[in-house]
Structure 1
Amino acid sequence: MIIKRLAVFVAALFLFACSDEPSITADSQEAASDAKAVLAQASASDGKALYIACQACHGPKGQGNRALNAPSLVNQSPWYLKRQMLAFMEGRRGAHPEDTFGQQMAAIAKTLPDQAAVDALVAYIDSLSGHTPERTVKGDTKKGEDYYTMVCGSCHGPKAEGNELLDSPALAGVDDWYLVRQFELFRKGIRGADDKYGRQMVMMAPALPTDEDVTNVVSYIQSLAEK
């Protein structure tokens, strides 16, 4: 019975992500509760089993799905994925009323029982093969390179590979449309207000003052992933 309800929960997540104005119903809350029970019964070392709550949106191979507003999970550093999952679970991300998609992830992340489950889930995602994301943002890569070198490279690395010592995640290989969205959230203060790491990006956001600047930089980052 619980497994059937988990299937209903995964289907609900699919519909929830498709909606521009998602809502939490009594049925979805009950399904989420049952999903949490199933996840709690799963072995903390079984990341593949835990991933069932993720694949409806992020895909069976972590490849993401833009139509569902779900970014790729591969090509990202495990330490950063863990930090973001914990931020969603603990209410440090996805709490802002204007962060619709962040609220979705927060609700899903809270179905995981504990940090051991997060570790197992991240380890499983890290085992999935990476891929070069499709280019959806087109800008001036030369201007983007200049801006990236001046503004971003010192933290995120010359090849946008990230730097854990500076708390800076990889950017190359992350969906370009997702990077644009997240930068906009930082610029508006919707993301980062309750997260000491996110606040760093909030402070840096004015360094790219226009949408064109952001497009150019993201276009350049995408070119690094394609090399």
Structure 2
Amino acid sequence: ATGNVSDGKQLYVACQACHGAKGEGIKAMNAPSLVNQSPWYLKRQMLAFKEGRRGTHPKDVYGQQMVAIATTIADEAAVDALVAYIDSLPNRAPEATVAGNIKKGEDYYSMVCGSCHGPNAEGNKLLDSPALAGVDDWYLVRQFELFRKGIRGADDKYGRQMVMMAPALPTDEDVRNVVSYIQTLAE
């Protein structure tokens, strides 16, 4: 993260109502944790919301909410400042809320997900694959469902990669199993 942390802290005031004072996320607001995520990915997503490459599908209600907020961010320097501030916040292991078969999830993850997202779900910038470990499990389930339905990924090339991969986890149970395994990797 290359932005000015103190500027980012001031800008973050608009984010904390949904994402929490420490970036911990607020499930009741449908806002995931922002900590535990790679700065490059946070920047890419904020710019995608701001530039209309994410959250534009009529059925992406939560994405549309982010578009409305992201368009108020002045420019890329402000995005960099926000990302720098979020990156300065302490990481936290999210609470597990999704139940699944961890062993089956590990098998699926190793076969389907790990080659892009990393063996420990740490993400891989070279493959444009974000970290999954440490991301709220309820959020991962919801995003996978949005990819599966083509609601997320319709407007950006990175999302289209996941739309194409979604059939690799054909059932809701498979998704819960993989997400339950990913939660065991969170620190």
Checking the alignment, whether the CA contact within 8 Å between 2:153 and 2:159 is kept in structure 1 is yes
The 3-state SS of whatever aligns with 1:71 is coil
Residue 168 (str. 1) matches residue 129 (str. 2): yes
Query: Could you tell me which residue of structure 1 aligns to residue 42 of structure 2?
Result: 81
Name which of 111, 119, 138 aligns with 2:99. Answer: 138
Query: Could you tell me which residue of structure 2 aligns to residue 185 of structure 1?
Result: 146
Q: Which has the higher helix share?
A: 1
Name which of 162, 166, 177 aligns with 1:205. Answer: 166
TM-score, L = length of structure 2: 0.97
Larger relative contact order (Cα-Cα within 8 Å, sequence gap ≥ 6): 2
Query: Could you tell me which residue of structure 1 aligns to residue 56 of structure 2?
Result: 95
1:157-189, Cα deviation, whole Å (9 max, x unpaired): 000000000000000000000000000000000
Please, what is the CA RMSD of the aligned residues?
Answer: 1.1
Checking the alignment, whether the CA contact within 8 Å between 1:155 and 1:166 is kept in structure 2 is yes
Kindly report structure 1 stretches of 4+ aligned residues shifted beyond 2 Å: none
Alignment gaps of 5+ in structure 1: 1-42
Alignment gaps of 5+ in structure 2: none
Cα distance between partner residues in 2 of 1:130 and 1:45: 19
1:44 Cα deviation after fit: 9.3
Cα distance between partner residues in 2 of 1:132 and 1:113: 31
Query: 1:151 corresponds to which letter in structure 2?
Result: V
Query: Could you tell me which residue of structure 2 aligns to residue 63 of structure 1?
Result: 24
Larger Rg: 1
Cα distance between partner residues in 2 of 1:139 and 1:91: 35
Cα distance between partner residues in 2 of 1:161 and 1:204: 18
1:45 Cα deviation after fit: 6.2
The 3-state SS of whatever aligns with 1:53 is coil
Query: Could you tell me which residue of structure 1 aligns to residue 185 of structure 2?
Result: 224
Cα distance between partner residues in 1 of 2:172 and 2:51: 31
Checking the alignment, whether the CA contact within 8 Å between 2:54 and 2:63 is kept in structure 1 is yes
Q: 1:133 to 1:44 in 2, by over 3 A?
A: closer
The 3-state SS of whatever aligns with 1:46 is helix
Cα distance between partner residues in 1 of 2:90 and 2:185: 18
Checking the alignment, whether the CA contact within 8 Å between 2:5 and 2:88 is kept in structure 1 is no
State the identity %.
83
Cα distance between partner residues in 2 of 1:60 and 1:177: 20
